[in-house]
Amino acid sequence: MKSAQASSNVAAKWIVFLILLMLPSLAWGQKNKGGGGGGGGSHASAPSHASAPSHPSGGGAKTTGGGAKTTGGGGAKTTTGGAKTTTGGGAKTTTGGAKTTTAGGAKTGAAAGGAKTTTGGGAKTTTAGGAKTTTAGGAKTGAAAGGAKTTTAGGAKTGAAAGGAKTTTAGGAKTGAAAGGAKTGAAGGAKTNTAGAKTGAAGGAKGGGASKTVTTKNGSTKTMNSSGKTTSVATKSGNKANFTSSGKVGTVHTKSGATINHGANGSRRVVSTRANGTRVVSTGRGRGYTQRNFSRGGRSFSSRTYYRGGHAYARAYGRGYWHGGYYNHYYPGRYWGGGYYGWAYGGWGPGIGWGWGWGGAPWYGYYGYYFNPYPVYAAPAFWITDYLISQNLQAAYAAAAVANANAAAGAGAAEGDAAAAAPADGGGGGQSAVVLTPEVKQAIADEVKAEIAAERDAAAAQASSAPAAAAPAAEAPQSAEATPAEVLPDALKPNNRTFIVADALNPQLPDGTECSLTQGDVLTRIDDTADGNNNVKVMVSGSQKGDCASGSQVAISLDDLQEMHNHFREQIDDGLEQLAKNQGKNGMPAAPAGSTASKPNPDGQATPDPNAAAELQQVDQEADQADKDVQVAQNDGVSN
């Protein structure tokens, strides 16, 4: 009996002893329960070994036990289970099989799946499925499952998609973390070391789109966006090129101040202002114009000499003033009788069929995906619409053929060799679904009618006024005190919304690259005025293969939009002339008797520049040198 009682007392003492040993551990675990941020995740693993005593190190404590390694400082409280955690500045963290770094009072919840998270400065982060996220300065980040890696800073909001996506932010942050771990430095002094890549996030950086500039062996510099695409190249000699999203050269700014635009189809436009103030614009070898300013009757004009196919002709433009700069305003070279404008503005009853004779033309086959002529013409405006679209596409096709021939045979290739390098057939005409939809063509036809009416009114107004002085004279210098009255450019007038691209352009995209616009593409103006950089937002309503995507929105300079409008007016006048030649023939209704007789418009007359051909040739040669320089820089010093 005494023996049994003694045994019972011994057992009771052992139970009490074991309970006393367990109480501190239970109390400590309850106190640190619920590390926050995402509750409902997986549970922490149970420690496999008893905790070892901690040892102070550098103002904090270092504790190992249960397979976990923890460094705490500044009163940090940490619960780990098979985890590796560093906290600082009073942070409170609960992890389960995760690796987490927090600093500056940040609160972090790491979900199951071995998620790795670094936060700083009060940031809140949720990750899942092996995602890795670094934030600083209060940024909020949601990283989707699948190992996505994202770095943000300075309050940025980032969503990283699944599939191992990698993002580098601005402000000097570098991210190169591969699967299997990373080495990370985050704000607030926290550090986490694991095997693998190295990541550093700078405090205060703004997320998204950091670029990188490197110097090549030949002394040129290349700039790349966050996706690794080359956005620009600056050559050692002083030329600079911007690149399209497809990796081709878009805009080139030469050391002499010229601008070169490359179209996706190989076309090229060169704009140069010479020392004497002459503006020289080449739209292809042996094509383009020169422009000089002059005054007549106390008014300011621009004389433009076009040179195409070995022939030169001149047109005059008015000079308008708007928001500190000048623009060109189109004047018709001749006016028709009032009855002719009324006939061209009206309708043709049930409509007429018309044979254009394009069936065997290479350009028509190539642009079958883009353009279908109307099967029946209910009014002259629709006829002129197809006429001017065809003229733009023929010019674009010819420019591409010449560019391809020159690329194949060298810069000295003759235009006669262009047929051998013509663009591949686009599929033939007559397709049911084309890029230029009926709605887009209707918008063009509506503006054709509006311009016919405006020209009719201008012709009537001029007929009742005194004629202007006949001969151009040198432009008189304008006094510094005199500020011309501002006149709204035609390109910004409320009714002028639709524009047909006249020459190659390269608007910039959000990622720093460019896209191309080619002669014949159609734009719709969105903005009602220009921004601080004199640019106007437009939507691409119809584009050719390789150009800016239809439906995209880009910024175009007001000057370029005005040039498109002027070219549109010129082509309408050319269309009116073709109508006059064809009226009464091949089923086309006749115009009123005597109405097709035209007379010159004094405002539209100018004297041709005898040096136009030579100046265009010189500008082309300078552009060839600049393009070659950019090509060498693009190839890291290697010439093709």
DSSP 321-375: EETTEEEEEE--SEEE-HHHHHHHHS--TT-B------TT-HHHHHGGGT----S
Of residues 136 and 25, more confidence is placed in: 25
- pLDDT tier, 7 (very low <50, low <70, confident <90, very high otherwise): low
Lowest mean pLDDT among 15-24, 177-186, 202-211: 177-186
pTM of the full structure? 0.65
Per-residue confidence (pLDDT) for residue 497, from 0 to 100:
97
Contacts 24+ apart (CB under 8 A), 580-588: 580/336, 580/340, 583/343, 586/354, 586/355, 587/352, 587/353, 587/354, 588/348, 588/352, 588/354
Which of the given ranges, 7-11, 246-250, 566-570, has the highest pLDDT on average?
Answer: 566-570
Per-residue confidence (pLDDT) for residue 458, from 0 to 100:
94
Of residues 171 and 353, more confidence is placed in: 353
- Of 555, 443, 559, nearest to 499 by C-alpha is 443
Q: pLDDT of 39-60, one tens digit each? A: 333 333 333 333 333 334 334 4
Q: What is the mean pLDDT of residues 201-228?
A: 72
Per-residue confidence (pLDDT) for residue 483, from 0 to 100:
80
**H or E element, residue 397:** helix 380-409
Residues 266 and 401: their CA atoms lie apart, in Å, by 8
Of residues 30 and 383, more confidence is placed in: 383
- pLDDT tier, 216 (very low <50, low <70, confident <90, very high otherwise): confident
Lowest mean pLDDT among 141-145, 342-346, 415-419, 527-531: 141-145
Indicate the angle between helix axes 338-345 and 438-463, nearest 10 degrees: 160
Residues 211 and 226: their CA atoms lie apart, in Å, by 6
Residues 362 and 366: their CA atoms lie apart, in Å, by 6
